[in-house]
Each structure stands twice: as C-alpha cells, then as structure tokens.
Structure 1
C-alpha cells in the first residue's frame, strides 16, 4: 500500500513539474512578445517623430515662398486691384420655396374641415 502511495505522489510531482515548466515556458514566450511589441512601438514613435520633423521642414514659409517664386509665374499684388465694397453687385435673391408657396396658396384648414363634414353649407 505504501509503494502505491509513493508512486502516486511521484507521478503527481512529475505532473506538477511539467505544468510548472509549461507555465514558465508560456510566460517567457509572452514576455518575449511584449518586448518585441515594445520595441516596434518605440521604432514607430521614432519614425513618427522623424516624419513630423521632416513635415515641419518642408512646410516652412520661407521654403514655400522660394519654391513659389521659382516655379510659379506670379505677379506682385497691386493695391489698384482692390475695389470698394459699395461697388460690389447686390447679393442674388434666395431661391423660392416651392412647397412653402404651395402651402400659402392652399385654403385654411378650417375651411377644408367644414367642407368635408358638410357644416360649411
């Protein structure tokens, strides 16, 4: 009886050691995945910072002005090109509301109700 109990305990210890090893292996694998993801996140943040720096370099007003003067045949702005506000044409009238116009042309609701019931005669 004692040998059977000892054998069961040894088998239980082996099974426990195997499960502990499996948990350790999985946790190590997960830790490696986390480290890899953190490294990728750090690289992406560095790439974003680099792209932001490049964007701010490319959108500098003095650089854009130099490119515009080099590649575009723009004339200088003259104050004679401006006009006064009172010389502007009037704003066009807003388009009509066809449904609203139809409703305005309709008879009032009381006259319609009275005609249906025969009270209006």
Structure 2
C-alpha cells in the first residue's frame, strides 16, 4: 500500500487511514468478542475465533493475544498456548503487555502439574506430551 501511495500521488492519505482504522476496528471487535466469551466461560468458542485468524496472529492486537492465552490457560491447552507464544515471541522484546499473560499461562500449568506430581519442565518444554 505504501508503494502505491508513493508511486501514485492521487491516492489520498485518507484512504490509507480509513483502511488502517477498519483493520483496527475489526481487531478490536474480535478482542471484545473473545473477552465476552471468556467472561462467560466459553473458552472453546474463544479458541475457535482465534483459530479463524491464526494466519494473521502476528498482526493481532495485544488484546486478542491476551484473551487467547487466557482461554488456553483455563482449558489447560498448553499446545495451543505454546504455539501462540512461538508466533508472538518476536514481539515480546518491544511489547511488554503480552508478557504478563504468558507468565499467568505458564504459572497455571506449573501449579496444576506440580500438584499432580509431574516434572513441570517436561510439561512446559514438551507440550506434545499428554498428561491426564
């Protein structure tokens, strides 16, 4: 889009601004829907929403990522939460808002699996293992 703007001066900046505002509003609505589902304890539906947008998760807002991690922690879905962590890990250095959600996500697993007598490092570093 920026290349088109530079090459074609007739494209107005308002068009670019409207498109970016539209994307932000879609992202905000997604985060708000996910928050509402989480508040109603419909965590699977929250994760279904994020699955529809998983190809664009790197560009999702912090609000969306935090809601997805909350649903993963409530469902004890370490595989999905770890994959979200991997997808947004490049943002963590410059974006401090996701980090507390990740701490909460992993701390939930540490306390849950410690009570069951599992080695927590196995659970966190090998999420493909299925513990019951």
Q: Same fold (TM over 0.5)?
A: no
Radius of gyration: which is bigger?
Answer: 1
> Relative contact order: is structure 1 or structure 2 higher (C-alpha 8 Å, sep ≥ 6)?
2
The normalised TM-score by structure 1 is: 0.27
Q: TM-score, normalised by structure 2?
A: 0.25
